[in-house]
């Protein structure tokens, strides 16, 4: 079944004006949730926690990546290779990550509920919480809220993806539009970042002062909620204008682009690194079209090396810059792919057992959590849902999910599924 | 011999619990060899009620095998890069030689020269290698492809070899010097679908007069799933130019994974799709097929018996459609995979 993330997208190109409009409307409709324990945000800010979230939309096969079963019934044509971790092997399509497995970790026994894209994509990114009648935020919105303003002067949640961009306020769920994702379609910046010709810095400043004065007058007898959201969006627009070069793909160096693989995905990962360097709290990079019901192995032969190279490069760069110790890097899809190989030499959807990669700040490096059966058909032993992963990521960021709640206009809500907990052995 | 495609009859089907990828009929017609995802060499003795035997052979997938022109030896190759040589005939086959790492990556095709003195292999490492068929010794390495090499065909002149890659580049090699003499264009068989490289020259064969090189695959796709139109590009050997673009008369979505040329003047292509397999019969120079034969499962490799009267087609799939699809699908509580078969057709 098709889903709106990979086809017929309703996304729209972003201009500053559109972003202002969308934020204002949604804020008015939903309100803005607070934190039950805001003190935590102050603690996190001092540690400058960040996240790189790599979303392989459509579902990358675990058997052609993190959990190979070569020479078995469902193993596929590829060999496995030894990693830096004794006894741990990856698909031969991931030689670079094999060399870096001492710095990364794998969860091989994911088990989730949904077997169709339309069911899975949103809930997985929202942590699949218990249904409380409100839309939970995507992880990027949640982290932006929970960590608060870390002082970068940039939007806290930026999403880089192929295709069109926009402001994805829906990501924020009940948190309110200001926690939505600023989305750079094809890695391009929002339109009209530069001030109009003839508007000098002095004129621009005067215009801002006038706007603020009018705002203050308007607010004398009105709630601050709507105005706060408008102020926030103006602030984001101003931030982007002040950092125009950061959003300019033309500023990416050829050597760096080559090191990241020379691919579209590599370019987006390089842009993600630059945004993290600039202090963006949460950067999401999406790579589409992993839904390989046919010709699975040739498709993964084309796709997995792109992930391997770009992911390895960003791990190296974050490490070299001293950022890896405070940046959580997570790579996942909405589910895995079937062990059985269908009549079109494809693999179908498989939430029964699948893998994700994770590393960086707060994550124990060089571990493999969980295992699948010899043929890779089902989990062997303990298995983990996405709620466990959310608990783990929050813990790695210094957030205690047992003591932190959302305050949705007076309704306290857990930040992660309360029946789950952090994955033991994955936290540093 | 003359054939009438409409008279093609399914003679028999041999089945196996694992997917079959390639097949060969022995020259005397007594044995049918097959191989596939389990890495074993399978042999059915056709005049003994299709008695089935299988032998440990490879570790990776076996997608390609070829018979020596004299019919005495069989060469098999796997996705882990191994090539082995086997005797053809009764008894437990003992491999005559093995090359463990003919290629360090997925080996896509093995073929044998018309005189039988050499075999050639190609793979994902962008290389084409030529070995002696008698001992498996490396004679020459042909470099120049910049992408995975998926298909091969020897020319009857004994001096030329052709190879086709993922991007639709076809190279004509001089075997005496190892140089690439020219490049031919089958790039219609490649498509960049978003961030993925799709298609390529999945198979190739010459006609019996060696005047035309037929390159098979698919054209265009709307997903990262090889869902394009099955297509054969006929390249005029003398000029190197495209002679005909051959596609099925009836709508079909999926690749052509093997082609053979029948001396009666038909190109036969094997198609693979979710809905099953198809054999297409084209007359040279005609863009649309003259006839098609449907099968319950998707086809993979073909073999035309040297008498021209029988065609074997390896296939795999899901009889009854109960094993495929998303999520947990159990059969009697067991997680079972897809199966394989080889369909034997009589051409008359």
* Residue A228, pLDDT score: 64
Give pLDDT, residue B227: 86
Per-residue pLDDT at A134: 95
Q: Which two tokens stand for residue B311?
A: 């065609």
Interface of A with B in 143-162 (CB under 8 A): 162
Residue in the structure block whose two tokens are 């030329």: B160
State residue B26's pLDDT score: 97
| Residue B333, pLDDT score | 86
Strands B242-246 and B229-236 turn out to be: antiparallel
Interface membership of A380 toward B (CB under 8 Å): no
Instruction: Give the per-residue pLDDT at A23.
Output: 46
**Interface list for B 219-238 with A (CB within 8 A):** 223-227
Interchain proximity A77–B225, CB inside 8 Å: no
Question: pLDDT digits over B15-64, tens only?
Answer: 999 999 999 999 999 999 999 999 999 999 999 999 999 999 999 999 99
User: B 159-198 residues with CB below 8 A of A?
Assistant: 193-198
**How far is Cα B324 from Cα A173, in angstroms, rounded to an integer?**
36
Nearest CA in chain A to B319: A343
Q: Which of A70, A74, A342 sits opposite B318 (nearest CB)?
A: A342
Query: What pLDDT score was predicted for residue A220?
Result: 75
pLDDT at A6: 32
Q: What angle do CA B122, B128, B133 make, to 5 degrees?
A: 80
3-state secondary structure (DSSP) of residue A271 = helix
Q: What is the pLDDT of residue A225?
A: 57
pLDDT for B250-293, tens place per residue?
A: 999 999 999 999 999 999 999 998 889 999 999 999 999 999 99
Structure confidence at residue A238 (pLDDT): 77
Two tokens at A301?
């032969």
Phi/psi at B124 (5° precision): -70, -10
> Which pLDDT belongs to residue B211?
97
Helix, strand, coil in percent for chain A, rounding step 5: 40, 20, 45
- Contact in structure between B25 and B12 (CB atoms under 8 Å): no
Domains of chain B from N-terminus onward: 5-346 (2.130.10.10)
A167 three-class SS: strand
DSSP code, position A406: E
Q: Which two tokens stand for residue B319?
A: 């009889």
- pLDDT tens for B295-343 read 999 999 999 999 999 999 999 887 666 677 888 878 888 898 999 999 9
pLDDT per position as a tens digit, B162-217:
999 999 999 999 999 999 999 999 999 999 999 999 999 999 999 999 999 999 99
DSSP readout, A312-379?
HHHHHHHHHTT-GGGEEEEEE-SSEE-SS--TTS---EE-SSEEEEEEETTBPTTEEE--B-TTSSSB
pLDDT tens-place string over residues B127-158: 999 999 999 999 999 999 999 999 999 999 98
Interface probe, candidates B38, B224, B315, chain A, greatest A C-beta count within 10 A: B224
Q: Least CA distance to B58: which residue of chain A? A: A71
Give the pLDDT score at A1.
Answer: 34
CA distance A14 to A20: 10
Decide if A9 touches B, using CB distance below 8 A.
no
Residues of chain A with pLDDT under 70: 1-47, 223-230
Which residue spans within B68-168 are E strands per DSSP? 73-78, 83-87, 97-99, 107-112, 118-123, 128-132, 138-142, 149-154, 160-165
Distance (Å, whole) CA A27 – CA A207: 24
At A370 the pLDDT is 98
Domains of chain A: 20-414 (3.40.720.10)
| Percentages of chain B per state (helix, strand, coil), in multiples of 5 | 5, 55, 45
Dihedral angle of Cα B223, B225, B230, B236, to the nearest 10 degrees = 90
The residues near B140 (Cβ < 8 Å, ≥ 6 apart) are: B129, B130, B175, B178
Strands (E), A165-324: 166-168, 181-185, 282-287
For A71, A168, A380, B56, the CA distances from A374, given in Å and listed in that order, are 11, 42, 9, 20
What pLDDT score was predicted for residue A26?
A: 42
Contact A77 B106 (CB under 8 A): yes
**In chain A, which among 38-67 make CB contacts under 8 A with chain B?**
58
Q: Do A303 and B105 count as a contact with CB atoms less than 8 A apart?
A: no
* B101 in reach of chain A (CB within 8 A): no
């Amino acid at each position: 079944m098709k889903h709106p993330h990979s086809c017929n997208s309703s996304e729209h190109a972003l201009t500053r004006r559109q972003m202002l409009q969308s934020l204002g409307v949604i804020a008015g409709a939903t309100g803005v949730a607070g934190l039950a324990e805001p003190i935590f945000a102050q603690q996190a800010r001092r540690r400058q926690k960040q996240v790189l979230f790599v979303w392989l939309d459509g579902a990358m096969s675990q058997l052609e990546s993190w959990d190979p079963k070569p020479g078995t019934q469902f193993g596929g044509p590829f060999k496995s290779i030894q990693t830096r971790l004794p006894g741990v092997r990856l698909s031969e399509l991931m030689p670079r990550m094999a060399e870096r497995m001492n710095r990364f970790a794998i969860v091989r026994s994911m088990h989730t509920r949904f077997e169709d894209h339309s069911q899975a994509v949103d809930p997985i990114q929202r942590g699949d919480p218990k249904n409380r009648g409100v839309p939970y935020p995507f992880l990027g919105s949640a982290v932006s809220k929970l960590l608060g303003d870390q002082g970068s002067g940039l939007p806290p949640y930026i999403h880089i993806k192929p295709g069109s961009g926009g402001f994805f306020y829906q990501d924020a769920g009940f948190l309110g539009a200001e926690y939505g994702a600023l989305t750079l379609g094809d890695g391009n910046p929002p339109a009209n970042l530069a001030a109009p010709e003839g508007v000098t810095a002095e004129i621009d400043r005067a215009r801002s002062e006038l706007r603020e004065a009018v705002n203050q007058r308007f607010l004398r007898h009105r709630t601050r909620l709507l105005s706060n959201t408008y102020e926030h969006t103006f602030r984001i627009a101003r931030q982007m204008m002040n950092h125009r070069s950061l959003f300019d793909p033309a500023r990416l160096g050829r050597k760096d682009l080559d090191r990241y693989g020379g691919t579209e995905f590599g370019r987006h990962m390089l842009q993600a690194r630059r945004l993290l360097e600039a202090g963006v709290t949460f950067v999401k990079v999406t790579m589409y079209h992993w839904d390989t019901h046919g010709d699975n192995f040739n498709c993964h032969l084309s796709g997995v090396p792109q992930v391997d190279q770009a992911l390895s490069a960003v791990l190296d760069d974050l490490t070299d810059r001293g950022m890896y110790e405070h940046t959580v890097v997570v790579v996942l899809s909405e589910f895995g792919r079937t062990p059985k190989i269908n009549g079109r030499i494809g693999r179908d959807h498989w939430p029964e057992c699948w893998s994700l990669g994770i590393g960086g700040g707060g994550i124990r490096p060089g571990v493999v959590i969980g295992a699948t059966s010899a043929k890779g058909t089902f989990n062997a032993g303990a298995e983990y849902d996405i709620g466990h992963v959310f608990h783990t990521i929050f813990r790695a960021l210094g957030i205690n999910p047992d003591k932190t709640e959302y305050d949705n206009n007076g309704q306290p809500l857990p930040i992660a599924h309360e029946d789950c907990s952090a994955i033991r052995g994955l936290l540093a | 011999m003359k054939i009438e495609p409409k008279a093609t009859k399914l003679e028999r089907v041999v089945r196996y619990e694992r997917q079959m990828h390639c097949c060969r009929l022995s020259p005397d017609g007594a044995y049918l060899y097959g191989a596939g995802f389990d890495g074993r060499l399978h042999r059915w003795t056709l005049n003994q009620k299709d008695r089935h035997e299988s032998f440990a052979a490879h570790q990776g997938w076996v997608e390609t095998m070829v018979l020596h022109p004299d019919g005495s030896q069989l060469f098999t190759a796997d996705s882990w890069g191994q090539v082995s040589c086997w005797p053809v005939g009764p008894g437990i086959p003992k491999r005559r030689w093995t090359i463990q790492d003919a290629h360090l990556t997925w080996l896509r095709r093995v073929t044998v020269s018309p005189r039988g003195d050499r075999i050639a292999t190609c793979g994902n490492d962008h290389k084409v290698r030529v070995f002696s068929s008698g001992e498996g010794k490396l004679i020459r390495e042909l470099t120049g492809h910049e992408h995975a090499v998926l298909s091969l065909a020897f020319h009857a002149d004994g001096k030329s070899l052709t190879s086709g890659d993922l991007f639709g580049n076809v190279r004509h090699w001089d075997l005496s010097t190892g140089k690439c003499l020219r490049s031919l264009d089958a790039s219609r068989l490649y498509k960049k679908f978003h961030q993925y490289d799709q298609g390529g020259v999945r198979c190739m064969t010459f006609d019996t007069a060696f005047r035309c090189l037929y390159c098979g695959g698919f054209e265009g796709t709307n997903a990262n799933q090889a869902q394009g139109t099955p297509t054969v590009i006929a390249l005029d050997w003398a000029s190197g130019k495209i002679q005909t673009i051959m596609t099925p008369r009836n709508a079909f979505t999926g690749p052509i994974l093997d082609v053979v040329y029948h001396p009666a003047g038909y190109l036969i292509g094997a198609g693979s799709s979710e809905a099953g397999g198809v054999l297409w019969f084209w007359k040279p120079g005609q863009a649309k097929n003259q006839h098609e034969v449907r099968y319950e499962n998707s086809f993979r490799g073909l073999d035309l018996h040297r008498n021209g009267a029988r065609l074997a087609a390896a296939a795999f799939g899901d009889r009854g459609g109960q094993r495929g699809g998303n999520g947990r699908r159990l059969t009697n509580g067991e997680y079972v995979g897809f199966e394989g078969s080889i369909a034997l057709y009589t051409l008359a």
